[in-house]
Amino acid sequence: MWCHSCKEGYDEEDAGTCKECYDEASETEEELKREIDELRSRLLFLRLPSPTLDAASAPNCDLLLHAIPSCPSSSSGAGGDGDAGRAPDTPAVPAHRVILASRSPVFRAMLENEMEESRSGVIKIYDVSYDILRAFVHYMYTAEALLDEQMASDLLVLAEKYEVKHLKAYCEKFITSKVNNENAITHYAFAHRHSAKQLLEASLSVLMDSMSTLADREEYKELVEKDPRLVVEIYEAYLNRQVNTAAGKDTDCSSRK
């Protein structure tokens, strides 16, 4: 029989399209679905001026967000608890509660109930820098962010924490586009921690192509110490691919006979 797409011959038990063309069409369909979801997410935004960039709108805001960066010394000695409650050194990031509540179910629950943040109008965001928090609030208004890999990673973590799904997907797509042989191990571990499926698959695919040198890398040795379970998963995925490849070759040989 002949494939309707590539016009090549294929086994009779296949229906209308060869496996290669079917798989390619499925990948294209998934990519189109992701693009449609991204466009729908962007349509949810009201395109209001962001108070983080527009000084004129800041006085009208009814919330102040404070970034409380993680402190390396907070886990040692008696200073830890004091650091957690300390006054932030950076300026507050202004925002409107109606905007945050409409973008994030976590903020909605916080602001629509009698929680301290709702009464005081002050929200402390822990383990984040001022620049990341400012970019986070700006995205909540505009669906835009100027990303590099570090910014995208930090924003993804914050988006996951506050369940801003469209921002998480936006950052994940950016990081996925930057995956290469040098950073695949780091991104694979990061994707596991934050349930980033697209990034996980892209990182694993790169790792599969460089298994011969994998064990020589410092990142690999660190992963063995910190999370050996992930190392096992990488090798299991590699073995499965080898088995599937061998099975595919056997099928091709049988069809030629």
**The tokens of 149 are what?**
């890999």
88 in a domain, yes or no? yes
**How far from the centroid of its chain's Cα atoms is residue 36's Cα?**
18
**The tokens of 175 are what?**
């990081």
249 in a domain, yes or no? no
80 in a domain, yes or no? yes
155 in a domain, yes or no? no
208 in a domain, yes or no? no
Bridge-based pairing of strands 122-126 and 63-68 is parallel
- pLDDT interval class at 1 (50, 70, 90): low
What is the predicted pLDDT for the residue at 34? 72
Interval 1-21 mean pLDDT: 59
Report d(CA 162, CA 168) in Å as an integer.
Answer: 10
Contact 190, 153 (CB under 8 A): yes
- pLDDT interval class at 154 (50, 70, 90): very high
66 in a domain, yes or no? yes
Whether the model pTM is above 0.85: no
Tally of domains within the chain: 1
Using one digit for the tens of pLDDT, what is the confidence trace for 26-59?
A: 778 887 887 777 666 666 666 677 887 776 667 7
Residue 80: name the closest of 92, 68, 90 by CA: 68
Residue 167: name the closest of 143, 183, 149 by CA: 143
Using one digit for the tens of pLDDT, what is the confidence trace for 163-190?
A: 999 999 999 999 999 999 999 999 999 9
**More confident site: 8 or 177:** 177
Phi and psi, residue 67, nearest 5°: -85, 130
**The tokens of 225 are what?**
């110490």
Helices 184-193 and 197-208: angle between axes, nearest 10 degrees: 150
Domain span at residue 105 reads 58-147
Q: What CATH number does the domain containing 95 carry?
A: 3.30.710.10
Residue 194 has pLDDT above 60, yes or no: yes
Interval 216-239 mean pLDDT: 92
Using one digit for the tens of pLDDT, what is the confidence trace for 58-113?
A: 778 899 999 999 765 443 333 344 455 555 678 899 999 999 999 999 999 999 98
Contact 152, 175 (CB under 8 A): yes
Report d(CA 224, CA 215) in Å as an integer.
Answer: 10
- pLDDT interval class at 206 (50, 70, 90): very high
107 in a domain, yes or no? yes
Rg (CA), the chain: 24
103 in a domain, yes or no? yes
